[in-house]
Structure 1
């Protein structure tokens, strides 16, 4: 199971790397062509925009796994140990319900847009809107993988502390 999780996280990370790499290549090629030849790629801005949308939704799960989303922990910190676990468990259940709802909404949006084409690329908007259900489905998988450790200990699986992170927290608290 650990091996499958590592493969899943690695594949998710590589998808982000490929998307993030494609965006500056497309925009850079467009800028170079515009200044060198006087002509630009009519689809470059649109492609970069849609890649940014996909990158955001695909990357949200990895950010969740690392604890990189905004969190306000005042209530949790004020509760005793068992209360903290109950609150974190309720949070996981609430997030799973919300993510599941958003998968369903995303599928509905994508289906509505399947026949409309993007202006420059001329591909169905279905492929753009599919980022939403795919991203929220990835969020569900990531959350399920980190939930046991998060509920028990309040930590995230695979969350490696950033160098100087502990010193920053101590400075903020002190």
Structure 2
């Protein structure tokens, strides 16, 4: 016999699904943070080493000047994914004020489906770009440009996963406008 749940009553599957979503989001945040911080630290150290060597020897090492070309895309995409996880991208909310809670839920769910489809598609298409950029080689390090372009694919996948977890959150939330809503007070 099936029992009906009221909207405020969570089913056992809802709790498990919510836990999975939180675990996936936590993994995306940890990965994005690690990528952004690692890229930033390596760029800083390599460029600082280049400055020190150039100061003492009047010659450059060469390879540090290639690091920003390789690592800056990773820093940017890590930041973009983190902003999406925190709901800190610019949003136009004019329509949200005109529709009720149910309308907002439909609007935001459709939005997340579109975002997920777009970014997973871009990641798929990006695989072709990797093959093309694999022939470009940075002269000093010998690293191919595909490592820089791989950042875009990883970022697109991160954004697609964030859209899917946001979609689940929208389905489970009593108020869709609170999903990924970030408040300054939470940081204090």
Q: Work out whether 1:80 is the aligned partner of 2:103.
A: no
The correspondence for 1:27, drawn from 28, 47, 52, is: 47
Say if 1:164 and 1:5 are closer, same or farther in 2 by CA, change over 3 A: closer
Contact 2:25–2:85 (Cα < 8 Å) also in 1? no
The correspondence for 1:53, drawn from 68, 73, 79, is: 73
Contact 1:66–1:156 (Cα < 8 Å) also in 2? no
Once the 2 structures are TM-superposed, how far is the Cα of residue 4 of structure 1 from its aligned partner?
5.3
Cα-Cα RMSD: 2.3
Contact 2:113–2:163 (Cα < 8 Å) also in 1? no
CA distance in 1, matches of 2:157, 2:33: 15
Runs of 4+ that moved beyond 6 A: none
TM-score normalized by the length of structure 1? 0.82
CA distance in 1, matches of 2:185, 2:52: 38
Segments of structure 2 that go 5 or more residues without pairing to the other structure are 1-19
SS across alignment from 2:113: helix
Report the structure number with the largest CA radius of gyration: 2
Instruction: Identify the residue that residue 169 of structure 1 maps to in structure 2.
Output: none
CA distance in 1, matches of 2:185, 2:105: 28
Q: Work out whether 1:155 is the aligned partner of 2:175.
A: no
* Cα-to-partner distance string for 1:119-172 (whole Å, 9 max, x where unaligned): 332212222211111111111122222323246422345x6522499xxxxxxx
Number of residue equivalences: 164
Say if 1:164 and 1:8 are closer, same or farther in 2 by CA, change over 3 A: closer
Instruction: Identify the residue that residue 101 of structure 1 maps to in structure 2.
Output: 121
TM-score normalized by the length of structure 2? 0.76
Once the 2 structures are TM-superposed, how far is the Cα of residue 108 of structure 1 from its aligned partner?
1.0
Q: Work out whether 1:127 is the aligned partner of 2:150.
A: no
